[in-house]
Amino acid sequence: MTTSLQGHVTTTTMDSPIGVLTLAARDGLLVGVHMEAQRHPPTGTEHWHRDDVAFGEVIPQLRAYFAGELREFDLPLELNGTPFQCRVWSALREIPYGSTISYGELARRVGNERASRAVGLANGRNPVSIVVPCHRVIGADGSLTGYGGGLDRKSWLLAHELEHGKIPS
């Protein structure tokens, strides 16, 4: 897995209802949406360069999401991880806005119903939170478990989507 984003990575920050987000891009592709004090922060950030104009549609789409006006992101992404992690992250993008599934269901969707723990670990390493909606995965009993950005943020994101779930895409 590539946890360090090497090469020409540009960053910017934006305020959001869940705190300041740090956005990272390489060659026009979004490679990171990071929250303050998240469980798995990116490494190699000493090589990142600030560029507040390099993010095209990323900031407008995130603002529209937080305003309850956008249900599905349309952004070019580069997701760096193991093949298993990339399958999990791809499956996350299939979970509809305002919906949740369990870790076990996500494991079934990636082809190994006994891999819910591995799915949870991959979910926690999602480098592009919110855009790749890892917050939509919950415990089998419906409880909010395991979110790298903190359960308070996960709860906020799910409540936000439930509140705005009737908006047409």
d(CA 41, CA 28): 21
d(CA 77, CA 74): 9
Told to judge if 134 belongs to the known catalytic residues of this protein, a careful annotator would answer yes
User: Which residues, 6 or more positions from 24, have their beta carbon under 8 angstroms from its beta carbon?
Assistant: 5, 9, 10, 11, 30, 31, 32, 33, 34, 42, 48
> What would the two tokens of residue 168 be?
């047409």
> What would the two tokens of residue 137 be?
């995965």
Of 18, 134, 157, 158, which is the active-site residue? 134
Active site residues: 134
